A = this chain, B = another copy of it.
Amino acid sequence: MRAGPSQEDIRRHNLGTLLRHVHLGGPISRAELTTKMGLNRSTIMALTSDLTAAGLVREELPRETGRAGRPSLVVRPESARVYVFAFDVGPDRLAVARVGLGGVILDRRETARERGPFQLEELAGTLAGFARQMRRKTRDDTVCVGAAAAVSGGVRKADGVVRFGPNLLAEEVPFGEELGRRLGLGLPVSVGNDANLAALAEHSRGVGAAVRDLIYLHGDVGIGGGIIAGGHLLGGHDGYGGEVGHMVVNPGGRACGCGSHGCLEAEVGERALLEAAGRVGPGQHGRDAVRTVVEAADRGDIEAQAALSKVGDWLGLGVANLVNIFNPEMVIFGGMLREIYLGSAAQVRTQLVLHAMAPQRERLRLRTSSLGDAATLAGAAELAFAHVLADPLEVLARANA
């Protein structure tokens, strides 16, 4: 247990907090900042000056105030100048975006990929190639301050090595290291689990903004989870926290890729739904195939309805377990689970009533992702910006050096 912060620590914290307001909330007047941060005007002015000098924000007169007197200057993020690279390695697609401070997508590349394991060199080469293309189009005064990737799989906290996932060939993949080398920007590439990062994005600027206790469930080939507990991402001892897809809901049930049986992922994942709906065979996978089942059920197809109902029951049981364990304020369904939840909300709610304790669920809200397919990429961008927000001046000094 250490002593409280030094004056220098507090200045760093205050600069980061001011920048975070601008980054997450957009343009904001100095007057509002004094209220939100609980600091006086001269301190806000000094902090803003530092961030302006560092090229992170700029100050402008507001367009129209409608009030008499001198208007308070508005602080805006330098979105076009300061940016990060965000990467998303999903089972079916690769995506790269150049994201400006404030969360603005400035440029973006995406490509579909065949399912199955990847070759590390090839993958990193493709992603770095996209980034280079985008970088060539930037103006000279822009500065890249970070890079991060969302991967479908487990990421070791200590060193960012990817340990498991549907795309992996090896047991320990130093993906961030390889991508960083190929990017050649002299920047480390942070790596995070896709569902964890999507949870972070929904918590920062999505449907879960201002919600301190939420569970984000992400459906892709499998089921991932990201948990925000008391305002913080639940990482666990080594960084593998949130793997709710491998909670056993049906002992002795369907075989799971992890070697166990009856995992939430095995009973609710894409394959469970498509098999239950009798849709097996070439081309029967991915988001479109899932959407087809949900649409067929909507139109009255009995087989599709039965499949959704079965999958919805297991999904509801899984959610009930998580509600008992976490007492969250909100559960968010994202990725493919968005469609599945919308098609089986009645089953999910019934299972909640049957299996979740009343006090645990009486103030619970069930929601679908508001960032949609952009959630994982947005989460990677937030991860890339994290160290800028932790110490704005140090980062800028390094980037400009």
Interface, chain A (partner B; CB < 8 A)? 1-5, 9-11, 13-14, 17, 20-21, 36-39, 43, 154, 156, 163-164, 212-213, 225, 227, 229-230, 232, 234-244, 246-251, 258-260, 317, 320-322, 324-329, 354-360, 363-364
Query: Would A38 and B359 count as touching, CB distance under 8 A?
Result: no
Instruction: For the complex, give the distance between the alpha carbons of A328 and B242 in Å.
Output: 11
Can you offer 5 A-B residue contacts whose CB atoms are under 8 A? Answer: A164-B357, A236-B360, A243-B325, A243-B360, A247-B324
Q: Copies per complex? A: 2
Which residue of chain B lies nearest to A47 when distances are taken between CB atoms in the complex?
B3
Query: Would B324 and A238 count as touching, CB distance under 8 A?
Result: no
Instruction: For the complex, give the distance between the alpha carbons of A234 and B84 in Å.
Output: 33
Partner of A213, one of B237, B356, B357: B237
Query: Would B20 and A14 count as touching, CB distance under 8 A?
Result: no
- Residues on B with beta carbons closer than 8 Å to the beta carbon of A355: 246, 248, 260
- Distance in angstroms from A234 CB to nearest chain B CB is 5
Query: Would B363 and A237 count as touching, CB distance under 8 A?
Result: yes
Which residue of chain B lies nearest to A155 when distances are taken between CB atoms in the complex?
B359
- Residues on B with beta carbons closer than 8 Å to the beta carbon of A232: 229-230, 232
- Residues on B with beta carbons closer than 8 Å to the beta carbon of A164: 357-359
Instruction: For the complex, give the distance between the alpha carbons of A163 and B327 in Å.
Output: 14
Which residue of chain B lies nearest to A25 when distances are taken between CB atoms in the complex?
B1
Which residue of chain B lies nearest to A354 when distances are taken between CB atoms in the complex?
B260
Query: Would A3 and B243 count as touching, CB distance under 8 A?
Result: no
Partner of A359, one of B238, B326, B356: B238
Which residue of chain B lies nearest to A11 when distances are taken between CB atoms in the complex?
B4
- Residues on B with beta carbons closer than 8 Å to the beta carbon of A37: 1-3
Query: Would A237 and B2 count as touching, CB distance under 8 A?
Result: no
- Residues on B with beta carbons closer than 8 Å to the beta carbon of A260: 354-355
- Distance in angstroms from A215 CB to nearest chain B CB is 10
Query: Would B250 and A324 count as touching, CB distance under 8 A?
Result: no
